[in-house]
Structure 1
Amino acid sequence: MLKTCAGLHVVAQTPFRADGAVDFDSIDTLSAFYYRHGAQGLLVLGVSGEAQMLTPDEAVAVAARFVAASGDRRIVAGVSSPSLAVLESVTRDVMSEGADGVMICPPGHVRTDEEIIGYFGAVFDRIGDVPVVLQDFPAASGVKMSVPLIGRLLERFPAIEVIKEEDFPSPPKIGRLRAEMPRPVRILTGNNGMYLPQELERGADGPMAGFSYPEMLSGVYDLMQRDDRAGAHDLFNRYLPLLRYEAQGKWGIAIRKEMMRRRGALDCAILRQPAPALGEADLAELDFLVGRMDLPD
């Protein structure tokens, strides 16, 4: 069940070998890395997890390996697809492998409120009462969902148990969601954790984000839970230069994977092609940036 989601849920990277094949062994070391640094669960097959570069069979196999490495921690699988048939098939398979729920973002071809409601009606007709994280991410999907519309979705579809809020500006929208929703719902945040302190202050239940230092994300959450607002902001600010540097779309994922390779979480930092590759100037720039930040090994 997703109704008790709180704390850090890392958007997991998908490891690849140098030849572009999925590196299943590194899923184990990557999972251990995330949990060691405070993750309460993982989102697998997300956008920054390169889900769009996997075949449906690979996606299910990746989710299954993360479930096997989870130690009963929560695993949510991203299943968004313009094809309802693919969404239904992958949802069925990842849930049979032990996932706790799925995350769905509406596709770009639905625009009006009624189209969005109709789309989710068709989704739930196919997948039944599978627990769902509703992803509100218009920068990626092109779909705007207002607070009143999200309220209507929650009233109509009880299987929606979590909102992943990534609209801009996220803090005030989270505040409105917390105040206006028709039933209690968990709110997790994304956007690479860039606005985490303010989002937590407005009522978010934790981050669902990726960063090469996940202990910062979990640490900020823990400090806010202890009402140490100044300490949370100080910790966040310590890591901000690298967090900002990683928040550059697919190129930023290449930076994140390189940092995680350096930290021992991955054997190989490669992205599945076509994708950006870091050059000597990029690596030198990263060395200089990190060298000035006095970060943990």
Structure 2
Amino acid sequence: MTLSTQTKGVYAIAPTPFLPDGALDETSVGRVTEFYAEAGVDGITILGIMGEAQKLEPEESLEIVRRVIASAGGLPIVVGVSAPGFAAMRRLAQQAMSEGAAGVMIAPPAAMRTDDQIAGYFSQAVAAVGEDVPFVLQDHPQVTTVQMAPKVVRRIIEENPSCVMLKHEDWPGLEKITALRNWQGEGSMRPISILCGNGALFLDFEMRRGADGAMTGYAFPEMLIDVVRHSAAGDVDAAHDIFDAHLPLLRYEQQPVVGLAIRKHVLQRRGVIAHETLRRPGAGLSSAARAEIDYLLRRVARSDRRAAL
């Protein structure tokens, strides 16, 4: 099963589970995959920024790919292959696809500044991983520091037929979605799937601007699924109602530095992973933060019993 320009729904960004000593928790890798499948996601993305991919050895990355695909029950799996050099990118992409991945995700390196540099980089990346490999263009300037104007995104899409999806994480970025969809509507850009990240902070309005769904990792993927499905059905108020109920916890989880620790803590509380460990370097949670998370979970549970932990 491969990605296409018609891909829609919710692709959960999976965390990488670790044991307390920092070793890979192979049992929890399977458990978290099964959790997302049972929640009803349309796919899973692994080895992304929130998957601590930069802290993994190459063989660990490949082992995660194998275990997730084996546990996913046929769900499409997207593998983040961003790397400082094309050799490492090529190796992981080819191995992931041979294991049965649906596609790969590529973000530009921080050194890219001009439009030509950015567009040229993606052309080289496509040549490295293979022109037959569907890829997701990750636009996440808050982390990469690379600013891609809508016209640059369009150029990359038009110059690389294997680009089938934009992972939209610009912020603020609602107007970028509108610009791309307008170009698509007038025929000056081919159709492409747009799934949105940024912890889903703007998912309610991103769906109204023309996004096809979410590719992010909030600790309650069920809420993301509800928002996307209500939006697709035209029930805007229902989408906003469930989104608004989770917004305080969603916002809290988006704090820089400690955000992943919060997400892993909640997933551990939900029984999804055995430990909330981040591989070093990584921030932990204070007792005050844990108390605040408990408070927010209780508030969310007033509207959504799935948060009653």
Same fold judged by TM-score > 0.5? yes
State the match for 1:113 in structure 2.
Answer: 115
Q: Does 1:171 align with 2:174?
A: yes
- 1:253-284 CA-partner distances (Å, limit 9, x unpaired): 11111111111111111111111111222212
Q: Does 1:2 align with 2:9?
A: no
**1:48–1:250 Cα contact (<8 Å) kept:** no
State the match for 1:145 in structure 2.
Answer: 148
* Residue number among 104, 107, 112 corresponding to 2:106 in the alignment: 104
In the aligned structure 2, how far is the partner of 1:56 from the partner of 1:178? 37
Matches within 5 A, 1:40-59: 40-59=42-61
State the match for 1:253 in structure 2.
Answer: 260
State the match for 2:82 in structure 1.
Answer: 80
- Quick one: which amino acid aligns to residue 91 of structure 2? S
* Residue number among 139, 155, 160 corresponding to 2:158 in the alignment: 155
In the aligned structure 1, how far is the partner of 2:300 from the partner of 2:190? 43
TM-score by length of 2: 0.93
Matches within 5 A, 1:18-29: 18-29=20-31
In the aligned structure 1, how far is the partner of 2:261 from the partner of 2:64? 19
Shift of 1:292: 2.7
State the match for 1:271 in structure 2.
Answer: 278
State the match for 1:193 in structure 2.
Answer: 200
* Residue number among 227, 231, 252 corresponding to 1:220 in the alignment: 227
Shift of 1:71: 1.0
State the match for 1:242 in structure 2.
Answer: 249
**1:103–1:134 Cα contact (<8 Å) kept:** yes
In the aligned structure 2, how far is the partner of 1:96 from the partner of 1:158? 21
Shift of 1:155: 1.4
* Residue number among 139, 148, 166 corresponding to 1:136 in the alignment: 139
Shift of 1:37: 1.7
In the aligned structure 1, how far is the partner of 2:137 from the partner of 2:55? 22
- 1:216-244 CA-partner distances (Å, limit 9, x unpaired): 00000111111110010000001111100
TM-score by length of 1: 0.97
State the match for 1:288 in structure 2.
Answer: 295
Shift of 1:293: 2.6
- Quick one: which amino acid aligns to residue 137 of structure 1? H
In the aligned structure 1, how far is the partner of 2:296 from the partner of 2:171? 27
Shift of 1:70: 1.1
Which moves more between the two structures, 208-217 or 164-173? 164-173
Q: For residue 286 of structure 1, give the secondary structure of its aligned residue in structure 2.
A: helix
In the aligned structure 2, how far is the partner of 1:172 from the partner of 1:146? 11
- Please, which runs of 5 or more residues in structure 2 have no aligned partner? none
State the match for 1:209 in structure 2.
Answer: 216
**2:78–2:102 Cα contact (<8 Å) kept:** yes
Q: For residue 293 of structure 1, give the secondary structure of its aligned residue in structure 2.
A: helix
Q: Alpha carbon RMSD of aligned pairs, Å?
A: 1.2
Shift of 1:38: 2.2
In the aligned structure 1, how far is the partner of 2:28 from the partner of 2:285? 21
- Quick one: which amino acid aligns to residue 2 of structure 1? L
Shift of 1:50: 0.8
- Please, which runs of 5 or more residues in structure 1 have no aligned partner? none
